[in-house]
Amino acid sequence: MLSELTYLGLEFPDSFTITRYSNRGTPFKKIVRAGMPRIPDNSVNVAVFLYRNKEDALAGRANGGTGFLVGFDTKSQTPCIHGVTNAHIACNFPVIRLNTESGKPDAIELDPADWEYHPEYDVAVTCKPLPVDVTIHEIVQINHELFVTDERIKEWDIGLGEDLFMVGRFIDADGGAAKNVPSVRFGHISVMPIPLFHTHSKKTVSAYIADMRSRSGFSGSPVFVYRTPGGNISQTIKDGEIDLGNNFMNFLGIHVSQFDENLESTVAGQPPVKGLSGMTIVDPASAISELLNMEKIKKARNAYMKEKIEEDVRFHRSTARLEGAVDTAKGDEILKRMLRTRPQPRKAAKK
């Protein structure tokens, strides 16, 4: 089964009065609900889990991280999908595990060399589209057109306090060997992109800071930014009305890591210990786009699309020939029955 995250149907519990206009320009009032959205059930399947090897994947062993699938439009019946995760995950846990229609997980065997790594950001994408089967796998892809861009940030005035959620792997309760069971965590944009030192890549690059708790296993999780009616407190609400034209749900970036924090030791006289602060680094969607738009990645994607389209053409041609052969066989059988049937005498015409 293949589905796509283009816009999540967010549900709003509280109400606002808005003004709408008919086709003839006549204004009318409408009540809409606003508030904390309920995330649609299928949105959690956007996350896939990553493991060191196929054996670990099928056994559901604890080590690993999270990834997700980015899809491209294709004229073929077969989807064109790349895997995405952190570079520090792909080089150690390259095998992708995803759910199937039968309820059991399946593993796509990849090596670290099957991933392309960003030279600065902690981001990696598969060098070629993944060999997924929509008749077998449960696939929720993020359309690359859902990515937040600099233009969208300006157009929608995306800024501090915007609501976020990420979908990832909570290792203590991830479904084990039975199936992937992703978890959802919520937060807000704390700092718009500024230069930040990345522990794994040892690079300083521009990234978001999110006030969103995490832990091991969530590395590589997709992070979404959304705005519901009434979610922008900088808007002026007049007479109980609010404009719904600036509400959205888009892919902001990829969760990388959390800042360390000195925590007080529970042992008297011992120095502070390192812990997670709850402040998360999110690399921007643009870093993923840079990889997906690399010439060699685009070349591999175009070759894959061409191959699948040609396969579709060959299938349709063979199907047409088979149907033609069946029609011919039916005609031959009818003719044979006619030849075996003796002519019946004509009835005498009535006078």
What percent of the chain clears pLDDT 70, i.e. is strictly above it?
71
> pLDDT for 2-55, tens place per residue?
665 544 444 434 555 667 788 888 887 766 555 556 777 777 889 999 999 999
Q: What is the pLDDT of residue 323?
A: 55
Tell me the domains of the chain and their CATH numbers: 2-235+242-297 (2.40.10.120)
- pTM score, two decimals? 0.76
Look at 247-251, 259-263, 316-320 and tell me which has the smallest mean pLDDT: 316-320
Q: What is the pLDDT of residue 86?
A: 97
Question: For residue 328, is pLDDT > 50?
Answer: yes
> pLDDT for 175-190, tens place per residue?
999 999 999 999 999 9
Q: Band the pLDDT of 239: cuts 50, 70, 90.
A: very low
Q: Band the pLDDT of 1: cuts 50, 70, 90.
A: low
3-state SS string for the chain:
CEEEECCCCCCCCEEEEEEEECCCCCEEEEEEEECCCCCCHHHHHHEEEEECCHHHHHHCCCCCEEEEEEEECCCCCCCEEEEEECHHHHCCCCEEEEEECCCCEEEECCCHHHEEECCCCCCEEECCCCCCCCCCECEEEEEHHHECCHHHHHHHCCCCCCEEEEEECCHHHCCCCCCCCCEEEEEEEEEEEEEEECCCCCCEEEEEEEECCCCCCCCCCEEEEEECCCCCCCCCCECCECCCCCCEEEEEEEEEEEEEEEECCCCCCCCCEEEEEEEEEEEEHHHHHHHHCCHHHHHHHHHHHHHHHHHHHHHHHHHHHHHHHHHHHHHHHHHHHHHHCCCCCCCCCCC
| Mean pLDDT across 218-222 | 95
Q: What is the pLDDT of residue 44?
A: 81
